[in-house]
């Protein structure tokens, strides 16, 4: 394959690289153009004649592929690849690659960023003190939120893939008990992991962290019925996929005091509608889908994206999810 004649189009490069990383390695592989964002209306005009597309969240449909006869390769700049019609790509012989496990440690870290924020509320007290509250306090300390020690609490992990496993190991380091809903057999699990049913996990866990893929079976896994089984002192963390949670049901549980708190890095629609009930729900703390976005994780993402393309050029594609 003559790489010099290959046209590469990055559809939405701003998210992965807002300017602190370099596209140079990719540009060495062919004629490369990088767009910050691409709307559906702009797609076909921008990529006409391109052999290679790289996308993060820009959707590539079967119709798009039908209108792009030169397209041979789609590189998804993420682990999840639901933005591409995989069946259509397979039928057309288009290779689709993803980037597995690049953000494992960063996402596990975000789980505990949310959990520690909820249990210690460092940001709240730091802000109060900049306003002079501690300086004017009659006592040597004050607190107006519940403070919780994690040691001895039960962490329920739904899904023990790379990120679920990394999260579980951090939980053990904090002295937590780990209960896991997983397809792995008990003898495959590390010491300290207790396999259990989904019902038992939600009913007994002090913290539930979601790490399962989004499928028809897991859509709205967390719903009103499931939330009713949880302890009112429990905490829900979701750094996986937004639609794992029925957002109105979770908001109702939080507002009615049937759940202590939720820490979420993902929502069902991103960016959310202004009237999303979780934006104003009691003790609901939301970050804007940034668990993956540490500079270290994005650097790995860029490196793997380039290596995926190099392997395609060499005729030995890897991480091909359209096989």
Residue 36: band (very low, low, confident or very high) from pLDDT cuts 50, 70, 90: very high
Would you say residue 1 has pLDDT above 60? no
Regarding pTM above 0.85, the answer is: yes
- What pLDDT was estimated at residue 2? 53
pLDDT at 60 over 80: yes
Cα gap 305→300, rounded to integer Å: 8
Q: How many other CB atoms sit within 10 Å of the CB of residue 186?
A: 10
Provide, rounded to the nearest whole percent, the portion of the chain with pLDDT above 70. 99
User: Which residues are marked as active site?
Assistant: 241, 270, 289
Q: If you search the block for the tokens 């002192």, which residue do you land on?
A: 233
DSSP string over 25-40: HHHTTSEEEE-S---H
All structural domains of the chain, each given as residue ranges with its CATH number in brackets, are: 3-102+295-313 (3.40.50.720), 104-286 (3.40.50.720)
- Confidence (pLDDT) at 190: 85
Q: What is the mean pLDDT of residues 84-94?
A: 97
């Amino acid at each position: 394959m003559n790489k010099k004649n290959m046209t590469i189009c990055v559809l939405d490069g701003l998210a992965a690289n807002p300017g602190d990383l370099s596209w140079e390695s990719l540009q060495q592989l062919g004629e490369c153009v990088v767009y910050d964002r691409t709307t559906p209306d702009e797609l076909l005009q921008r990529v006409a004649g391109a052999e290679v597309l790289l996308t993060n969240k820009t959707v590539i449909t079967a119709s798009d592929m039908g209108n792009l006869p030169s397209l041979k390769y789609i590189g998804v700049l993420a682990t999840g690849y639901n933005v591409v019609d995989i069946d259509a790509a397979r039928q057309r012989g288009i290779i689709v690659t993803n980037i597995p496990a690049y953000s494992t440690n960063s996402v596990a870290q975000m789980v505990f960023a949310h959990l520690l924020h909820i249990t210690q509320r460092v940001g709240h007290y730091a802000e109060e003190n900049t306003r002079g509250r501690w300086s004017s306090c009659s006592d040597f300390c004050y607190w107006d939120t519940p403070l919780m020690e994690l040691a001895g609490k039960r962490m329920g992990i739904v899904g023990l893939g790379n990120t679920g496993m990394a999260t579980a190991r951090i939980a053990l380091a904090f002295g937590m008990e780990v209960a896991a809903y997983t397809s792995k057999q008990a003898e495959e699990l590390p010491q300290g992991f207790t396999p259990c049913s989904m019902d038992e996990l939600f009913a007994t866990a002090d913290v539930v962290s979601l790490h399962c893929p989004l499928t028809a079976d897991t859509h709205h896994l967390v719903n009103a019925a499931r939330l009713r089984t949880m302890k009112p002192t429990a905490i829900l963390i979701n750094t996986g996929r937004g639609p794992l949670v029925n957002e109105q049901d979770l908001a109702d549980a939080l507002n009615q005091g049937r759940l202590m708190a939720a820490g979420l890095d993902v929502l069902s629609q991103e960016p959310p509608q202004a009237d999303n009930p979780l934006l104003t729900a009691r003790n609901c703390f939301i970050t804007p889908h940034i668990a993956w976005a540490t500079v270290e994780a994005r650097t790995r993402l860029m490196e793997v994206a380039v290596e995926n393309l190099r392997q395609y050029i060499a005729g030995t594609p890897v991480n091909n999810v359209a096989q």
